[in-house]
Structure 1
Amino acid sequence: MKKRLMLAGLMAGLFLTGNLVNGQSNAEVEKIPEVEKLLKKMTLEEKVGQMAQVTIDVLTIGDTPFDTSEPLRLDEETLRKGIVDYKIGSVLNTANNRARTREKWHNIVSTIQKMAQEETRLGIPVLYGVDAIHGTTYTADATFFPQQIGMAATWNRDLVRKGGEITAYETRASSIPWTFSPVLDMGRDPRWPRIWETFGEDVYLNSQMGIELVKGYEGAENEVGEPVNVASCLKHYLGYGTPVSGKDRTPALIPDIELRERHLPPFRAAVEAGAHSVMVNSGLINGVPVHASYKMLTEILKEELGFQGLVVTDWKDIENLHDRDRVAKTQKEAVKMAINAGVDMSMIPYNFDFCDYLVELVNEEEVAMSRIDDAVRRILNMKHKLGLFETPVTHYEDYPKFGSKEFEDAAYQTAAESVTLLKNADNILPLSKDARVLVTGPNANTMRPLNGGWSYSWQGNLVDEFAGKYSTILEAIQNKIGEENVTFVPGVEYNMEGKYWEEIPGDLDAVAVAAKDVDYIILAIGENSYTEKPGDLHDLSLSDNQMALAQTAIESGKPVIAVLNEGRPRIIREIVPEMEGILHAYIPGNFGGVAVADILFGDVNPSGKLPYTYPMYVNTLVTYDHKPSENQAKMAGMYDYESDFAIQFPFGFGLSYTSFEYSDLSLNSESISGDDELTISVTVTNTGDRTGKEVIQLFTSDLYASITPDVKRLRRFEKIELEPGESKTMTFILTAEDVEFVNAELNRVTEPGEFEVSIADLKAKFTYTR
């Protein structure tokens, strides 16, 4: 079979910054005639300006770059300094970290583009970018979907693509053509505060959902010039999601073999899907900042993967090479390192020093003009493909579907399919609509944790200001069964005016008293909104306050149904046995409250599946695709070690209000070789009494290999809907390439030997021969 050599020679480690002169590379970039003509006209200063990106706060009226005066107004003097004097090519972000109306966005972007067109020599349009990551998160009245971890929990490709399409439409309605999404970091460490921005722990699930979101944003054929599409940005390349400490932007130690086996494939898949830009990992891997790695940015991304688009830094990360990481003795040296490594655009974001330094470096022959031309070509190519030269600003009046019921219905459907039923003792769920319930917990009556970070503001702290028309979990339950049947006692509340993790303990005695007069207790627990460094934590356990509230509910003797509204799986080991029901809602967006209520009371049959392994202990943070030695439960001899695979709920798990039976697993052959295809079929039957959706998950296991194989790996999945009594036979096709792995020589290979296919509790074996 075909073997793909993953390293062009094994002479150097993955993270060498490179010894090639002045960052020159062999990567060939598409040459568009209009761009090439423009490139020949440009001065060095004009080229360098295209590589600069500043935050909008720098260009507005205010006391400091961090504090824009309201109402938001552009400062003509500083705008002219940026656009005319420094010829900057890109602007990002939203002023004062808050959502704006479509009208305000149109006014701001139009003013910037007007100056670029009329007051610069070449009239090159500015490229505006924003973090539209689960909807157009900085535009008032936009449609909000579940965060990526919830989208992954749907296991529904169509819903993920539709979410991307709607987000693109509404982002263009906001006059913005570029979104910093999707996140393709691997969510393999529950401690990491950005795990909810990922598609979870699995390589294949991440790759498939990443493709769908790229196509949703950019169009089926990546026609980003269409006025309903935007350019996507893959982030954070590469290996950002598994720092040793679990805390954001802290060092990672990742062997080359692990980077290539787990972290690179989703980016490879999204690059092959046509993504137009990539954002760089802010962290260090094996002691080297990725922003300074020629090997990572040029040899692997641009040459090996053949990436044609632009590479942009993350926030202030060139400056961090000097200020934080201490690999550059000066800021000027930091610019040299990053640009020669392969960075095309610097998210500066607060000053114009980058431009001055880079001009000096080129004049001093420390950075080659060919490297500058390569970067600017990539930037101008994207602007050209986006249609900015012809239409630098789209107008909100041309987007009548913005915030429409059609879009809201899609967001609701995605939220409903994301919610995952983890426990349903004695089929206690769904509850009767005649039931009397006590709703308690800090997540019960606020929209903030339903939306999470990057929602109207960076940390999600402005959600209640913008999301008043939507229903909290409490309000949705009241609307469902009537206020007279619902008692609300918070028990614990978040300090909405302080740090996100601070909690205000409530009156637990009041909870106990209220429980006496109800049939069930709905316990809404989890986390408040956060992202990045503010989300770092020392302990993955659910807070003491919330655990005490849960114990109070349990001790009441009434059945307790927990609703987990959290961005990462908090440890709940002590209360799980006492819960009658557990729903995992993740961060479901503005329609999460309604989706939860509809599932609790049976209007929707839950169909979500876990996109990560839910841990049981803080020291058992192991993924499903572990090595066999991770599970040595009982060693021979007199000792019983705590060495089992102790998890709370497994990857891919999720219950339904109906039941499904799998049968007739069959393979078209017991042996394949070369480029043969293996056809696998299985029959799924709905054996319950209501319609339900089921996710068929196909795993393979390499039974013996030259390096220890993973216990199993997800290779295919499909979500289907079945009526009661209905059966469907599903067919999947695998090739040898689908079961290959990265060996000790960093080659992707499929070795001859025996493999096992598993779907649900069914298994079958096949052999691969060369």
Structure 2
Amino acid sequence: MRASWKLKLSLAMIAAVGTGLWACNSKLKSAPTLESITEITRSERTIDERVEQILSKLSLEEKIGQMTQITLDVVTKGENVYVSDEPLELDIELLKEAIAKHKVGSILNTANNRARSVEKWNKVIAEIQELSMQEIGIPCLYGIDAIHGTTYTAGATFFPQQIGMAATWNPDLVKQGAQVTAYETRASAIPWNFSPVLDMGRNPAWPRMWETYGEDVYLNAQMGIAAVKGYEGENNELSDSTKVAACIKHFLGYGSEKSGKDRTPAYLPEIELREHYLPSYKAAIDAGAHTIMINSGIINGQPVHANVDYLTTLLRDELKFDGLVVTDWADIQNLQTRDKVVATHKEAIKLAINAGIDMSMVPYTLEFTDLLVELVNEGEISIKRIDESVRRVLKLKLELGLFTKPYPSKDDYPEFGSEKFEKMAYNSAAESITLLKNDKRILPLKKGMKLLVSGPNANSMRTLNGGWSYSWQGEKVEAFAQGYNTILEAVQQKFGETNVKFVEGVTYNHAGQYFEEHVIDINAAVKAAQNVDVILLCLGENTYTESPGNLHDLYISQNQRKLAEALAATGKPVVLVLNEGRPRLISQFDRDMSAIIQTYLPGNFGADALADILIGEVNPSGKLPYSYPMYPNALGTYDHKPSESSNEMDGMYNYDSSLPLQFHFGYGLSYTTFAYKDLKLSKSEIGPEDSFTVSVKVKNVGERLGKEVVQLYTKDLVASITPDSRRLRRFKKVELAPGETKTVSFTLKASDLAFVGKDLKWTLEEGAFKIMIDKETQILKLNNSRQFEHANTL
């Protein structure tokens, strides 16, 4: 109950009196002090100078409050701390308890796990900011997970999820999407966005794979840079009221879990961590990202939230990150309750803060503030360490302009939810959708064809959006997205309602477990197929993220398989539309499909884009950002070692080693055809300090306007550490008219060819490298070897 929570706080205060702490805590800033903070923030001094002056006026309790973040449900009216009343209202007494007494400096999330209107967000946050400025003279820093649009704001523009944005292979679209999200998040009075995710999607079983930009570190880095620049602006000017502070997450190695289950242990050699998991973070840090969220998991037996080697030595000293570090949800307390590396919550706080954490996402109990005060007074955590963190919090608030304008008005953002923004989201969905199979060129379909639309994903806005859409698990999408088209509705609009039949066949039990399904009537779907020309079969996944999305079997569900096999047995051509967050295995029936289209999680405009592709008004141009596996025990990435693939092995000890894939990384078909020729190098030999240019001619030899992703790979032929089979080094998306030829050029540095050696240094060894674009290849020779602090691979 809320009453018991308040009693708990009161008891903590009484206990504090006994230790002399409450006497210090009760020194609430008088009006002159508040006025002096205001004067400081309006002065002509530099931001760093203002930070130091404000810091000097804060008590220990006020400093620690700035390091504390609670969830919104804690300060709203409701029967307990986890549930808020509807309509949503702040509980002013609870808010005062959090801000006036505990000096809380940050709040996150929505209440009751559901989206709110822009007007409601502005009202709620205005009340929070007014009290915060009144009581301590410092604004609250509000944060939200706005990962493919402003997740928790009704009417916001939703783009494809990150895995779909990666499939565009178009960083300009990623930047545009981030710009729109920043604008609409700031319109919601929220200045801090927990995005982008720069974890690597290298395990297709991982339930957060769709939140990533896929399996390749270079693709991740380029998309991450674009997202940061979109959120924060080209020069990271957070004073621009249309920008938000980006939060790159989850540093470091999240997604590499051995089991593929969320937040289970990872075992990562440092060579692997540095070469495949670290560079995307370095790229985003170098792009100016202001904040970082930490990996909730364990690497090599040690929780990342307690790892000083990662959080201080690597992040601060080596990568030179000087921004704010925030925990993930309850992860300091998890050091005690889940990971068992300490016996008490107090010890967990000591471990995490000394390791390098600046702000604790508490999120429910304010015990954190009292315990951290005790630790400082006992000498277990230095005031110097506290001041380091508070400086970062204050600096971010000043850079965001929150002291001078703590909250905006919706009227300041007239383009919120505009047709202009919606067109951008549609374009992103259209460029993300990936054509994987097109036997006998059955696609595009002709107008006037009679279609059967079937499958559990055919008439659902929920599945098009995925998790983090109006609610954490996406289960509330249908309440907010009725104004957009499902696949069925979009197809009916394009082909005519009289030409489109709908029999679902299999459905999800939306009230039950996330993957629970019901077979409605497969026979009815088979019967409905008798008088149609083509079957549009929409399969995939229901919404999920994090641990609720853990899987035991990567095969697509057996109910969906039965539906696919039954419809294929009718003899009608079946176009399989996949709508899924990760590559669910289809090797049991893919041969029976005439065409296969991957939509990923395309957002509210995904069905419209799909319908336009089906009818030929849009030529598909998406490319896979991951390797699509064929079997559950044959998971791997495109940059595997030679011994993992039989076609790269020589000699008698092959034993048919193989890495069978359904579709390879970077794969995607078009309605036209592209031909490559004349791959050229500006130099055939280089030194370790040199740059060189690679060029190739690309021609559209088909009959349609189309976009092609030109992908440049390299292969180190011999190295002291077994080289990857190939590595993506550059890419560019180009548009070509029928018969048109373009020369596409890339400039690389020799250091782009470096790898992490056994001494953990970026190493460039003399020898030969194969340069590859499509089927064109050239050999480049490198003279002399060199080591680098960091390779220029990004």
What range describes the TM-score normalised by the shorter chain of this pair? over 0.9
| Mapped pair 1:114 → 2:130 | yes
Instruction: Give the AA of the match of 2:128.
Output: I
- 1:429 — aligned with what? 443
Q: Distance in 2 between matches of 1:186 and 1:66?
A: 32
- 1:90-140 CA deviation, whole Å, 9 max, x = no partner? 0000000000000000011000000011123xx100000000000001000
SS in 2 for 1:678: strand
Match of 2:353 among 336, 339, 361: 339
SS in 1 for 2:143: strand
Q: Distance in 2 between matches of 1:394 and 1:147?
A: 27
Instruction: Give the AA of the match of 1:280.
Output: I
Instruction: Give the AA of the match of 2:323.
Output: G
Task: Choose between structure 1 and 2 for higher RCO, CA contacts under 8 A separated by at least 6 residues.
Answer: 1
Q: Distance in 2 between matches of 1:449 and 1:185?
A: 23
Decide whether the 8 Å contact of 2:643 with 2:657 is kept in 1. no
- 1:682-716 CA deviation, whole Å, 9 max, x = no partner? 01001111100000000000000001000000000
| Mapped pair 1:686 → 2:686 | no
- 2:247 — aligned with what? 233
Match of 1:208 among 212, 219, 222: 222
Instruction: Give the AA of the match of 1:75.
Output: D
Q: Distance in 2 between matches of 1:730 and 1:716?
A: 11
Matches within 5 A, 1:559-638: 559-632=573-646
Task: State the 1:640 CA deviation.
Answer: 8.6
| Mapped pair 1:463 → 2:484 | no
| Mapped pair 1:452 → 2:466 | yes
Decide whether the 8 Å contact of 1:182 with 1:232 is kept in 2. yes
Matches within 5 A, 1:240-639: 240-632=254-646
- 2:238 — aligned with what? 224
- 1:4-31 CA deviation, whole Å, 9 max, x = no partner? xxxxxxxxxxxxxxxxxxxxxxxxxx97
Q: Distance in 1 between matches of 2:653 and 2:459?
A: 49
Match of 1:195 among 204, 209, 231: 209
Q: Distance in 2 between matches of 1:675 and 1:577?
A: 50
Task: State the 1:449 CA deviation.
Answer: 0.7
> Normalization by structure 1: what TM-score?
0.95
| Mapped pair 1:51 → 2:73 | no
Task: State the 1:577 CA deviation.
Answer: 1.0
Task: State the 1:636 CA deviation.
Answer: 9.0
- 1:27 — aligned with what? none
**Which deviates more from structure 2 when the two are superposed, residues 624-633 or residues 306-315?**
624-633
Decide whether the 8 Å contact of 1:634 with 1:640 is kept in 2. no
Decide whether the 8 Å contact of 1:633 with 1:641 is kept in 2. no
Task: State the 1:635 CA deviation.
Answer: 8.4
- 1:222-279 CA deviation, whole Å, 9 max, x = no partner? 0111010000001000001110110001110001111100110000000000000000
SS in 2 for 1:445: coil
SS in 1 for 2:215: coil
- 1:714-760 CA deviation, whole Å, 9 max, x = no partner? 00000010111111001101111111110000000111110010000
Task: State the 1:676 CA deviation.
Answer: 1.1
| Mapped pair 1:702 → 2:705 | no
Instruction: Give the AA of the match of 2:212.
Output: T
- 2:37 — aligned with what? none
Matches within 5 A, 1:12-27: none
Decide whether the 8 Å contact of 2:688 with 2:751 is kept in 1. no
Task: State the 1:637 CA deviation.
Answer: 10
Q: Distance in 2 between matches of 1:560 and 1:64?
A: 51
- 2:9 — aligned with what? none
Decide whether the 8 Å contact of 1:635 with 1:641 is kept in 2. no
Gap change, CA 1:636 and 1:592, over 3 Å in 2: closer
- 1:25 — aligned with what? none
Q: Distance in 2 between matches of 1:412 and 1:133?
A: 17
Decide whether the 8 Å contact of 2:688 with 2:764 is kept in 1. no
- 2:755 — aligned with what? 741
Q: Distance in 1 between matches of 2:663 and 2:470?
A: 32
Q: Distance in 1 between matches of 2:124 and 2:460?
A: 31
Task: State the 1:641 CA deviation.
Answer: 4.5
Match of 1:768 among 765, 771, 782: 782
- 1:78 — aligned with what? 94
Gaps of 5+ in 2: 1-45, 785-794
Q: Distance in 2 between matches of 1:642 and 1:471?
A: 48
Q: Distance in 2 between matches of 1:337 and 1:204?
A: 34
Q: Distance in 1 between matches of 2:682 and 2:123?
A: 61
| Mapped pair 1:731 → 2:706 | no
- 1:663 — aligned with what? 677
- 1:139 — aligned with what? 153
Task: State the 1:632 CA deviation.
Answer: 2.8
- 1:10 — aligned with what? none
Decide whether the 8 Å contact of 1:633 with 1:640 is kept in 2. no
- 1:647 — aligned with what? 661
Match of 1:154 among 148, 165, 168: 168
Q: Distance in 2 between matches of 1:211 and 1:638?
A: 45
Paired residue total: 739
Instruction: Give the AA of the match of 1:202.
Output: D
Gaps of 5+ in 1: 1-29
- 1:101 — aligned with what? 117
Match of 2:107 among 67, 91, 107: 91
Q: Distance in 2 between matches of 1:646 and 1:417?
A: 27
- 1:49-106 CA deviation, whole Å, 9 max, x = no partner? 0000000000011112211111101111110010100001100000000000000000
Q: Distance in 2 between matches of 1:157 and 1:718?
A: 9
